[in-house]
Structure 1
Amino acid sequence: MAGEMSAIGSVILALFLAGYLGQQYLPPPKPRVIGLDLGTTFCSVGAFQPGTGEVEVIADDRGRKSIPSVVSFNGTGIYAGHEGQELSDINPQNTIYDAKRFIGKTFDQETLDKESARYPFKVMLNNGTAEFFVSTNGTFTASPEFIGSRLLLKLKKMAEQHLGVPIEKAVISVPAEFDEMQRNYTIRAANLAGLDILRVINEPTAAAMAYGLHKVDVFNVLVVDLGGGTLDVSLLNKQGGMFLTRAMAGNNKLGGQDFSQRLFQYTSERVLQQYGVAPTLKEDVHRLRQAVEAAKLRLTVEPHVTLKVPLHLQITGAEGPQEKHVVFEEEMTRELFEDLNADLFQKILAPIETVLVEGRLDKDEIDEIVLVGGSTRIPRIRQIISQYFGKEPNTSVDPDLAVVTGVALQAGIMGGAWPLQVSAIEIPNRDLRKTNFS
C-alpha cells in the first residue's frame, strides 16, 4: 500500500513538474476566442494572451488599434474601415456609416424618414426594418447586419493575421439598452462574418472589467461613454462579482462628430472671410474635415495648433468661374474649441443627473466614475464631470479601448485561458429602459 501511495505521489509530482516546465519553456497557447467592440463610429478587436496575462488590442498593418465603422461600395468592391472612410467624401451616396443605429430595430415610414434625413445615403423601409440603398454596378439594398458583418470580417482577418491562427469564436459587446432583437441581429452580423458568438456582454460592464472593477471592493459605478456619435451613461451596482445595470440615460445625437462639425463650420466661415468663397469641391471638404478632426485630437493635449490646408477654391471672376489654389492657414486654440462647443459639453450632465435620480443615489454615493469613448479625453469634458461630482474620474484605461479590453478579458474567460480566474456576471434587467435626450 505504501508503495502504491509512493507511486501515485511520484506521478502527481511529475505532472506538476511537467506543468511548471511547460509554462516556463513551451510557447504559450494562441488565443482562440477574440473580443469584439462593434461601435457606432469605431470598432476594435482584442485577445487575452495566456502567456502574459494581458489583453492585446490588435492593430491593423499601419498600427491603428481601431477602424472606422464605415463601409463603402463602388464598382470595384466593398471597402470597410479606413479604406471605406477614405471614399466617404467622393462616394457619399454609397458609403454607409452609423449602421449600428438601425440594426435590429423596427420602424414606420415617418420614424425612418426622420432618422435617416441627416445621412447622404438613402435608407429604405422593408417590412418594418431599415435597409441601405446602394447604386454601383446596378442597384441593391444592404441590411444593417450585412454592414456590420463586413466590419467584423475586417476585424477577424486582422486578428487572424496577427495571431497566426484561424479564428471562429468571439465575445461581442452591445449597448446595455439593446433589446433581444437588437442583440440577435448583432449576433447574425457576426455569423455572416464566419464567427460563432459565445457571449454577448454589455458595453458598460465590459468597461468596468477593463478598469478592474470586478476584482475590487466597489459598489456603485457610473460609466460615461461618449464616443463619436452617441452619449451613453449607465449606473452599475456591483454585488460580489455581479453587475446590475440600475439606470441608463443618454443622447443618441451627441458625440465627437458634433464637436468636429462645430469646428468645421468655423473654419469654413474663416475661409469664406479670407477668400470670399467657401470650400465646395468634395476634395476640399474632405481635406478640411480631416484637418479639423486632427486639430480636435491635438487640442486634447496641446493648448493651440495651426491648421494648414491646401484648397482649390471655385472663384467666379470677370472671365467666369476659375479655380484658385490657396493654402488656408489658421491658428486654433483649445479655448476657441471649448467656446464653440460650450452648450454641447453642458448637455453631458443631463443624463448623468437622470441616472442618479432613477437609481435613487446621491452623487457622493458613486464609488467610481469610469470614462469610455475617445471624446472623454477632451479636458473640458473631464473638468465638467469632476466639478459635478467633486472628485476626479478614473482615467487609468485608454477610453477608446476600454470596451474592447473588457470584452477581450471576457473572451479569455470563455476560452479557458490561464491565469484568468475572476469573471463578471451581469444580472439581466429586462424591464430597464433608457432615457434619451436630444
Structure 2
Amino acid sequence: MTRERLFLLLAALVLIAGGWWLSDNTEWVEEDVPRPATGEARDNPVYAFEQIMRKLGMHAEHHEQLDRMPPEGARLVLLSPNWELVPERAAQLRAWVERGGHLVLLQGADWDDTRLESWVPVFAFDISEKVRRQGEQARAAAAARAAKPTPAPGHGASAAGGGNHKDDEDEDENRDEADSEPPVFGDIDSLDLCHSFNWNKRLRVKPGREAVWTLTQEHGQQLIRVIQGRGSVTVLNASPWLFQRQSPLGCDNALLLAATVQADPGATVWIYLNEKREALTPWLWHSGWIAIVLGALALAAALWRAAVRFGPRLAAPPRLRRSISEQVRGMGAYLHRHGRDALLAAQQRALDDAAIRHVRGYARLPMADRAHAVATATGVARDDLYAAMASKFCTRAELPGRLHLLETARRLLLSPAHKHPHPNLHRPHDERPSQ
C-alpha cells in the first residue's frame, strides 16, 4: 500500500467517525421562523385586506389624500379622521354617498367627532357598568355549569356523551359570535369574529331611520348599515386595526370584511389611511420655484447694494490737463455767445479777485493805483497793465494781448514762489517786521 492510499484511508475513517458522532449527538427538527414583511406588504398596512378584495374580483387601492372622491358606486373605508383637515370634505362625502357611494366608518377612527356626525343616522353609546357586570356574571355562571360533571344515567357511554357536550359548551363559551340580520351571505346568520368589536360601546340608529343590516352581540348592535340617498353608510364598532391585520383569515373576519364593503366582482374599494402631504419646503419649490428664484435674486441685489464698501462707488477720474483743442473750442463757444467784451471783463474780474487776496487795501484803491500796485508786485509793464485793466472795449487785434497780460499778472500774484517787493502786499504769518 502506498503512502497516498494510506492517507486517503485515514481521511475516510475520520469522516465516517465524525458523521457517526454528529448523528448520535444532534437532533434535527423543523422550526417555522416567521419572515418579516417586505416590499409593499411592509409599507402598506392594509395589504392583506387589499389582497382578499382582489381575490374576490374587486379593484382595491389605498389613498393618503382625498383631493377627489371615489367613483360613483364605489366603497370608501375611512380609517382616519385626518380627511377633516379640509372643511368642505364632509359635504363632498355626503353628496358622494347620496349619488350612490357606499361609506364605511369605524367607531375607533372617531368619525362622530367630525362633521359627519350631523348627517350620519347612527350614534354610539356607552354600556353602563351594571350591565357589563351582569353580562360577566352570566358568562361566569355558564362556564361554571359547563365545568360540572354530568352524571351518567345509564352506562359509561352516556357519561362519555356528557363529556362531549361539556367540551362543546366550552368551545361555544370561547367564541365571540355576532348575529346577523338579515343573513350575511345565503343562510349564514352568525359570525365568529374573534373579539373584533369594542365591548364598552354599542351602536344605535337615530329615531326615524331604519337599519338594513345589523350585527348584534350581547347588550346591543356592533354594526349598522343604513340607506342614505342612493348609497349607504355602514358603521362598525371596531378600531381601524380590523382592516390592518396581517392575518385577516382567522375566524370569520374575512367574511365580515367582505360583507362590510359589500364585495362584488368589478366593484372598487378605496381605503383612506391618513392625510399625508408633501413637506412645506419641497412643496413651495415645486409649486413656485420661479417666485423663489426671483425673490432670492432681488434679496441678493438688495444686500449687495446695502453692503459696506471699502472704497468709493466709482473710481476717482484722473486729473488730466485740458488739451489745447478743448481750450480753443471752449473759448470759441464763449466768444460766440458773449463777445470779446464779456471775455475781457471776465479776465479783469479774475485778476481783481486774485489781487484782493494778495494786495492790501486793493478794493479801496483807484484804477491807476491798482495797476501800479499789481505792476509793482508782478513786474509787468504798468502802462500796458493799466490799459488792459481800465478798458471796457477792445478790438479783435487788441484782445489776445490784453488777455495774455491780465492772465500773466493773475498767475504771478497767485504763485507761492513769487517774491512780493511791494510794501502793500500781505506778508506771511510767520514773518515779523524788524524793530
TM-score by length of 2: 0.22
Specify which structure has the higher proportion of strand: 1
Specify which structure has the higher proportion of helix: 2
Work out which of the two has the higher radius of gyration on C-alpha atoms and give 1 or 2. Answer: 2
